[in-house]
């Protein structure tokens, strides 16, 4: 036993400590507990946020400090030269929850406090003649520990980012499926979603590539315009929930670089996320139907695509044309329907419509303006006239509640 080599001496790969620190290493080992305690005391003294940590987290930091001192001893024993890396296992003494409670910047401050204490103890730790060598070694070690801490936080961020991406995909999928508000609320809470009304859903093509990269660019753009955003890539589609934008269509326009080519359709604004299923359904239906309107603006509101959505079998589009457009005209008075029929029969020629109705052209002009006020659609606009024609057909085939079809 007396002839046994000291720790590290029998490892040819380790080499001797730099500048003959062999005599210093036992001193550091004996003082490890003192150094860790002094380091934590320094943190408590100089870092106000550290004093406010719960007792369990402070104890974790103490464990990390002790592991750090021991790691420094091992690092010095194995050479402590350039290129010798400190394992990030130094942080294994604390649970992963600590990385979520303490930021990387705060971790660097803790490392700085520990290194300051170690430097102050160099005169008492170093063997005679080894003070300068130990001080230089401590500085190199502090850099290596900082690199190791950065690696730990980078891995945690990657893991958290991957998990968040999965949660966001699940939330978007729940919206598209029309899941209950409780499901939406729980998944939104897990993501830390701030329910900033109004909330709207935009659907377009994904630009391609990794989903994480696609969403990263989208979120950067959302932060620049100060809106909340949650996205998910579903096949070739990119679905984005936009919150806190008073004009969701305008906000979607500023997010266009994050989408691929093709139409981008924005559903109606809703008061909260748990009601955004309706917006998602409308946006998705509009996206499927948008190919029938090649001249559609980009982005386009789902409400602007009611005629195309009707042709795809969208029951909500049929209901809107039937109840809101046709029903609104019938409730406003029969002369509006008669005028609209005459105007379309005359090919949009106002004077011809007036002659067929036996009224003055100004009367027709007035009634056309009333139609626009009631429906939001202008008969003199070709696009709006298309929607009005379809609304007349749908309403007459299936009159809204309260409308006497025999009287029409």
Total of domains in the chain: 3
User: Is residue 402 very low, low, confident or very high in pLDDT (cuts 50, 70, 90)?
Assistant: low
- Are residue 109 and residue 152 in the same domain, yes or no? yes
pLDDT tens figures, 371-388: 999 999 999 999 999 999
> What domain range is 103 assigned to?
21-158
Residue 330 lies in a domain: yes
pLDDT tens figures, 298-326: 999 999 999 999 999 999 999 999 999 99
By C-alpha distance, which of 277, 255, 279 is closest to 269? 279
Could you tell me where the DSSP H helices lie in 178-255? 181-191, 211-224, 248-254
**The predicted structure's pLDDT at residue 248:** 92
- Are residue 95 and residue 203 in the same domain, yes or no? no
Instruction: Sort strands 199-205 and 265-266 into parallel, antiparallel or unpaired.
Output: antiparallel
Contact 288, 317 (CB under 8 A): no
Q: Which position has the higher pLDDT, 103 or 38? A: 38
Contact 143, 190 (CB under 8 A): no
Q: What is the 3-state secondary structure (H, E, C) of 346-388?
A: CCCCHHHHHHHHCCCHHHHHHHHHHHHHHHCCCCCCHHHHHHH
User: Is residue 164 very low, low, confident or very high in pLDDT (cuts 50, 70, 90)?
Assistant: low
**The predicted structure's pLDDT at residue 81:** 53
Answer yes or no: pTM beyond 0.85.
Answer: no
**The predicted structure's pLDDT at residue 91:** 61
Instruction: Classify the C-alpha dihedral 37-43-45-48 as positive or negative.
Output: negative
Contact 371, 343 (CB under 8 A): no
CATH number, domain at 346?
1.10.10.2840
Taking the C-alpha atoms of residue 376 and residue 17, their distance in angstroms, rounded to an integer, is 83
Q: Which position has the higher pLDDT, 166 or 26? A: 26
Indicate whether 77 pLDDT > 80.
no
Residue 368 lies in a domain: yes
- Are residue 53 and residue 123 in the same domain, yes or no? yes
Q: Which of 164-173, 225-234, 283-292 has the lowest mean pLDDT?
A: 164-173
User: Is residue 9 very low, low, confident or very high in pLDDT (cuts 50, 70, 90)?
Assistant: very low
- Are residue 47 and residue 134 in the same domain, yes or no? yes
- Are residue 291 and residue 321 in the same domain, yes or no? no
- Are residue 38 and residue 154 in the same domain, yes or no? yes
């Amino acid at each position: 036993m007396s002839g046994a080599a000291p720790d590290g001496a029998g490892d040819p790969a380790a080499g001797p400590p730099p500048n003959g620190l062999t005599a210093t290493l036992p001193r550091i080992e004996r003082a490890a507990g003192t150094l860790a305690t002094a380091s934590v005391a320094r943190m408590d003294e100089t870092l106000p946020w550290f004093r406010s940590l719960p007792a369990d987290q402070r104890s974790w930091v103490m464990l990390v400090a002790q592991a750090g001192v021991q790691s420094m001893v091992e690092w010095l024993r194995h050479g402590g030269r350039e290129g010798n890396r400190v394992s990030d296992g130094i942080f294994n003494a604390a649970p992963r929850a600590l990385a979520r409670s303490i930021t990387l910047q705060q971790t660097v401050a803790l490392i700085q406090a520990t290194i300051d204490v170690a430097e102050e103890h160099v005169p008492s730790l170093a063997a005679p003649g080894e003070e300068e060598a130990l001080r230089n070694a401590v500085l190199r070690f502090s850099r290596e520990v900082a690199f190791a801490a950065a690696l730990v936080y980078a891995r945690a961020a990657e893991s958290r980012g991957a998990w968040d991406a999965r949660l966001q995909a699940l939330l978007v999928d729940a919206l598209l499926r029309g899941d209950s508000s409780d499901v939406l609320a729980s998944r939104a809470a897990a993501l830390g979603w701030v329910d900033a009304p109004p909330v709207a859903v935009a659907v377009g093509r994904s630009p391609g590539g990794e989903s994480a990269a696609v969403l990263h660019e989208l979120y950067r753009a959302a932060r620049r315009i100060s809106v909340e955003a949650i996205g998910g890539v579903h096949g070739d589609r990119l679905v984005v929930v936009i919150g806190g934008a008073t004009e969701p269509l305008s906000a979607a326009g500023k997010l266009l670089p994050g989408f691929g080519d093709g139409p981008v359709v924005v559903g109606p604004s809703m008061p909260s996320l748990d009601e955004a299923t309706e917006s998602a359904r409308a946006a998705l239906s509009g996206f499927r139907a948008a190919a029938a309107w090649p001249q559609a603006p980009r982005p386009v509101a789902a409400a602007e695509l009611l005629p195309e959505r009707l042709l795809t079998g969208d029951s909500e589009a049929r209901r809107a044309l039937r109840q809101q457009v046709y029903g609104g005209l019938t409730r406003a008075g029969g002369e509006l329907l008669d005028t609209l029929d005459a105007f379309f029969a005359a090919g949009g020629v106002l004077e011809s419509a007036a002659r067929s109705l036996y009224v003055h052209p100004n009367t027709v002009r007035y009634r056309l303006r009333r139609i626009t006020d009631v429906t939001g659609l202008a008969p003199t606009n070709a696009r709006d006239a298309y929607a009005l024609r379809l609304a007349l057909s749908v309403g007459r085939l299936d009159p809204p509640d309260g409308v006497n079809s025999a009287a029409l």
